[in-house]
Amino acid sequence: MQTVTAPTQQSLANGGGKLKTLEQFIIERQGDVPGSTGQFSRLLRDIALAAKIVDRDVRKAGLVDIFGEAGGENATGDTQKKLDMLAHEEFVRALRRGGEVCMIGSEEHDEAIPIKTNGHSGRYIVLMDPLDGSSNVDVNVSIGTIFSIYRLPDGCEEPLTEHALQPGRDQVAAGYVVYGSSTMLVYTTGNGVNGFTLDPSIGEFLLSHPNIQTPNVGKIYSINEGNYRSWEDGTKEYIKWLQIEDKATNRPYTSRYIGSFVADFHRNLLKGGIYIYPANVRDPRGKLRLMYEANPMAFIVEQAGGRASTGSQPILDVKPEMLHQRCPVYIGSADMVEMAEDFVAGRRTL
* Residue numbers at the binding site for ligand AHM (CB under 6 A): 107, 129, 132-134, 224, 259-261, 264, 287
User: Applying CB under 5 A, which part among 22-30, 85-93, 125-133, 298-306 lies near Mg ion?
Assistant: 125-133
Nearest of 119, 208, 181, 168 to residue 331 by alpha carbon: 168
264 binds Mg ion (CB under 5 A): no
Backbone angles phi, psi at 89, to 5 degrees: -65, -40
Look up 132 and say whether it is catalytic: yes
- In this complex, which beta carbon is closest to Mg ion, that of residue 132 or of residue 199? 132
Look up 246 and say whether it is catalytic: no
Q: CB of residue 132 vs Mg ion: minimum separation in angstroms? A: 4
Angle between helices 39-59 and 83-98 (to 10 degrees): 150
Judged by beta carbon distances under 5 to 8 A according to partner kind, the member of Mg ion, ligand AHM, none in contact with residue 214 is none
- In this complex, which beta carbon is closest to ligand AHM, that of residue 205 or of residue 292? 292
Look up 107 and say whether it is catalytic: yes
Residue ranges with strand state E in the chain: 101-106, 113-114, 124-132, 143-151, 173-179, 183-188, 193-199, 204-209, 220-222, 254-255, 273-277, 307-309, 329-332
Distance, first Cα to last Cα, the chain: 31
CA angle 265, 268, 272 (to 5 degrees): 150
132 binds Mg ion (CB under 5 A): yes
User: How many Cβ atoms are within 10 Å of 263's Cβ, its own excluded?
Assistant: 24
Look up 108 and say whether it is catalytic: yes
Spatial distance between the Cα atoms of 285 and 321, rounded to a whole number of angstroms: 13
Q: CB of residue 262 vs Mg ion: minimum separation in angstroms? A: 8
108 binds Mg ion (CB under 5 A): no
Q: CB of residue 280 vs Mg ion: minimum separation in angstroms? A: 17
Look up 232 and say whether it is catalytic: no
Judged by beta carbon distances under 5 to 8 A according to partner kind, the member of Mg ion, ligand AHM, none in contact with residue 74 is none
Interacting residue ranges for Mg ion, rule: CB under 5 A:
129, 132
